[in-house]
Amino acid sequence: MAYPNTYRLKVEATNPSDLTQSVTKWSTVATVKGNLTVFVHGGDRSASVSHSNYFFANVNPESSSLIYRWICIDEVTKTYCKSKTGKYLVFPNLPNMTIPSGTLMKKKQYRIRLDVKDTISNYTGTHSVMVTAYSDTQMSVEIDSRHNENGYIDYTEEVLIIGVANINGTFINVANATFTWVISDSQGNQVDLASATKVQNSIKLPARTLVSDNIYNVYLTVNYMNVTGTATIEYSTMIDSYFSFEVEPSTGVAFSTDFIITAASQNVNIDTSTYVFGYLKGSVEHYLSRGSVKSMYILKLPQGESSDQLTLFVRVFTKQKKTYYFEKTITVTATTTTATEFSELVSSTHCDSIDESIQIRMMYEHFKATMPSERLQALELMLDGFERDSKIYAS
């Protein structure tokens, strides 16, 4: 295949026992250039001209063959930064760098950029932050989070963001400071933070406060002892890999129909991804598989909820340390299996695999309203253990 280009891939499948049973599927394949995810910690910030300023970065995927090129540029004149002796600054080939004290000039803005290249794969990546220099007694504020690892947020999980502030290199007492947070999307619309939890210098957003495929700017203002500082950072919920989530067939019968559940990707590093499949009932996640590199399962499913609609999901953990989440809704009608047959299934199953325990859990949830109370209590204890096992392995 050539780059850049798009191809159509045809797949045909025929039942060897019945040649009249066949299916044809077409898939679009796009060739893309591999990239590195580069993220400089802290976001846009203020910096003291009388103190050294430190910058740290994360690069994914990690490699021993990475070359780091840090650049400091005067944002107004577009010239490279110079040292106190008038020489252009040269930074070492490292994932972190330091701008020495006295290098920056007060009331000026500087762009700190990091370009990274993998000399083996030829993957590249870049990221930059804006720095405003000051000399008076001012506050330097940075925004920290585990999302600083690559700038990506899994919107289906809780989001914890922390503000870090210091005055002339000395960290403030956060208990006596006021932290004000504002989050807006790529269209400038502010995110409703009414349900967010704010504790001193941190803010925690409930899952799904943000939405997928968007860019968010986080603004923080800190007030302490009549001194004010600000910081801004950009996070993304945008997917940059070509994953797809497919379920065949789209309709079936609970605990009877074999559903083929597949997470596919055109990513060349697909074999390094980990997958967790499951379904939603009453807004609760129930796992269908443990986390593994296996991207396809053939499973029986429980009956859907309203109008027999069942929502399936897959969570993909990539080598680049990003988590992608996909949903698909299918129709699963009531089963013809009886509670007696289910009871016999329980008594004859050793449940020595996590898949078997999950299947019994699904069927049990379906039949428990018709089961005797004494058997119900015993099965609750047994199946709760199976479910814990599934969650441990899924995580």
Q: Are residues 219 and 278 in the same domain?
A: no
Sheet of 215-224, strands arranged across: 178-184, 215-224, 227-236
What is the CATH classification number for the domain harbouring 266?
2.60.40.10
Cα–chain center distance at 287: 18
Q: Are residues 140 and 250 in the same domain?
A: no
Q: Which two tokens stand for residue 338?
A: 């009886």
Q: Are residues 289 and 389 in the same domain?
A: yes
| Cα dist from 40 to 55, 128, 219, whole Å | 7, 7, 17
Q: Are residues 206 and 272 in the same domain?
A: no
State the number of CA atoms in the 13 A half-sphere of 57 facing the CB: 30
Question: Is the predicted pLDDT of residue 391 greater than 50, yes or no?
Answer: no
pLDDT of residue 110: 93
Q: Is residue 6 part of a domain?
A: no
Q: Are residues 229 and 252 in the same domain?
A: no
Question: Is the predicted pLDDT of residue 179 greater than 60, yes or no?
Answer: yes
Q: Are residues 326 and 223 in the same domain?
A: no
Backbone angles phi, psi at 286, to 5 degrees: -120, 125
Q: Are residues 145 and 188 in the same domain?
A: yes
Q: At CB < 8 A and 24+ separation, what contacts does 117-121 make?
A: 117/36, 117/66, 117/67, 117/69, 118/36, 118/63, 118/65, 118/66, 118/67, 119/65, 119/66, 119/67, 120/63, 120/65, 121/34, 121/63, 121/65
pLDDT of residue 198: 95
Q: Are residues 150 and 267 in the same domain?
A: no
CB-count exposure of residue 64 (10 Å: 0-12, 13-18, 19+) = exposed
Q: Are residues 223 and 300 in the same domain?
A: no
Lowest mean pLDDT among 16-30, 132-146, 166-180, 290-304: 16-30
Q: Is residue 363 part of a domain?
A: yes
Highest mean pLDDT of the ranges 222-226, 264-268, 344-348, 365-369: 222-226
Query: Which one of 236, 270, 288 terminates a domain?
Result: 236
Q: What confidence tens digit (pLDDT) does each residue in 336-379 have?
A: 666 666 666 556 555 445 555 666 666 666 666 566 666 665 55
Q: Are residues 94 and 173 in the same domain?
A: yes
Q: Are residues 51 and 193 in the same domain?
A: yes
Locate tokens 């007030």: which residue?
A: 223
Q: Is residue 17 part of a domain?
A: no
- Cα–Cα dist 95/56, whole Å: 6
Nearest to 96 by CA among 36, 37, 39: 39
Question: Is the predicted pLDDT of residue 155 greater than 60, yes or no?
Answer: yes
Q: Which residues constitute the domain of residue 377?
A: 243-394
Q: Is residue 125 part of a domain?
A: yes
Question: Is the predicted pLDDT of residue 21 greater than 90, yes or no?
Answer: no
pLDDT of residue 388: 45
CB 64 within 8 A of CB 35: no
**Total tally of structural domains belonging to the chain:** 2
Query: Which one of 205, 236, 267 terminates a domain?
Result: 236
- Cα–Cα dist 302/310, whole Å: 8
Q: How confident is residue 315, by pLDDT bands cut at 50, 70 and 90?
A: confident
Nearest to 198 by CA among 211, 215, 183: 183
**Mean pLDDT of all residues in 271-291:** 81
Q: Is residue 22 part of a domain?
A: no
Lowest mean pLDDT among 20-24, 51-55, 317-321, 368-372: 368-372
Q: What is the pTM of this model?
A: 0.54
Q: Are residues 361 and 381 in the same domain?
A: yes
Lowest mean pLDDT among 37-51, 96-110, 256-270: 256-270
| Cα dist from 109 to 37, 49, 56, 101, 371, whole Å | 25, 12, 19, 16, 71
Query: Which one of 207, 236, 265 terminates a domain?
Result: 236
> Which DSSP symbol is given to 19?
E
pLDDT of residue 27: 60
State the number of CA atoms in the 13 A half-sphere of 352 facing the CB: 2
Q: Is residue 83 part of a domain?
A: yes
Q: Is residue 19 part of a domain?
A: no
Q: Is residue 93 part of a domain?
A: yes
Question: Is the predicted pLDDT of residue 306 greater than 90, yes or no?
Answer: no
